[in-house]
Amino acid sequence: MTTQQPETAPVLQLRVIVEAEDFDAAIAFYRDTLGLPEQAAFEGDGYARVSILDAGRATLEISNPAQKRMIDQVETGSRQGPGIRLAFEVTDGHGVTTKLAEAGATVIAEPRETPWRSLNARLEDPAGQQITVFEELEVTATRTDREGFGTATTR
């Protein structure tokens, strides 16, 4: 899903750069297994390689430490390491989790329903990056009408 941005928008794209020692395995995992279409690929001197994959609409989720601990607890039952975690919205949380595990991901936590009505699974990709795959079980409008949810202007 691509959201049209006005030409005056200050930011047009969020790009997350993941360094992968095994480039081919990372491409196989994210492009071929998870299904992120390749927008462009480049090779340079010294066997430098990059592939830009389309991950749909991007958001930047900023969490304080208490929220990070709560999400770790909800998704995995325990505290996970610090750092950036990638999250991908999918339409079949169970199926995608199985497919990624078969492609070399380590399942940290099987899909489970969260208090905010999504089905989340936590995995570690073959390069050690933690990812979440999540399937929304209700529309955003329904969620934001419930206690504890909404935007900063409605809290």
pLDDT tens digits, 111-147: 999 988 899 999 999 989 999 999 999 887 777 777 7
Torsion of CA 104, 109, 114, 118, to 10 degrees: 10
Q: When comparing pLDDT for 64 and 92, which is higher?
A: 92
Q: How many CA atoms lie within 13 A of 74 on its CB side?
A: 16
pTM of structure: 0.80
Picking from 149, 35, 12, 125, the residue whose alpha carbon sits closest to that of residue 89 is 35
What are the pLDDT digits (tens) for 3-58? 555 567 788 788 898 889 999 999 999 999 999 999 999 998 889 999 999 999 88
Q: Residue 73: its pLDDT value, please? A: 94
N-terminal to C-terminal alpha carbon distance within the chain: 28
Alpha carbon 3 to chain centroid, angstroms: 18
Rounded Cα gap, residues 62 and 47, in angstroms: 35
